[in-house]
Amino acid sequence: STPVDLTLGIEILANESKDEDMLLLALRRLLSHINAIVREGAVISVGSFYIETKPPQDILDRVKEIAQNDPSLYLKEYAKDLLLQY
């Protein structure tokens, strides 16, 4: 799969599915992906899926790590903004 495929796939899953277990399997891998666009799609998906509830702590920890250390300045800022929701 290409980075774009992974990004679109996780965003569609977060928006269209109610299956949290399946989403978490994907998020746990994609939040650590080498490609920034894939990590971005995963962070967006956290915000899309967890609107009324708080994500699991390991997901929040990974988003916090992205907010503090990601090489992409845009992604760092997006992750910081997302964390303010929780």
Query: In the prediction, which pLDDT does 8 show?
Result: 96
Mean pLDDT of 13-34: 97
Query: In the prediction, which pLDDT does 50 show?
Result: 96
d(CA 33, CA 15): 20
Residue 1 has pLDDT above 90, yes or no: no
Backbone CA torsion sign across 64, 45, 81, 68? positive
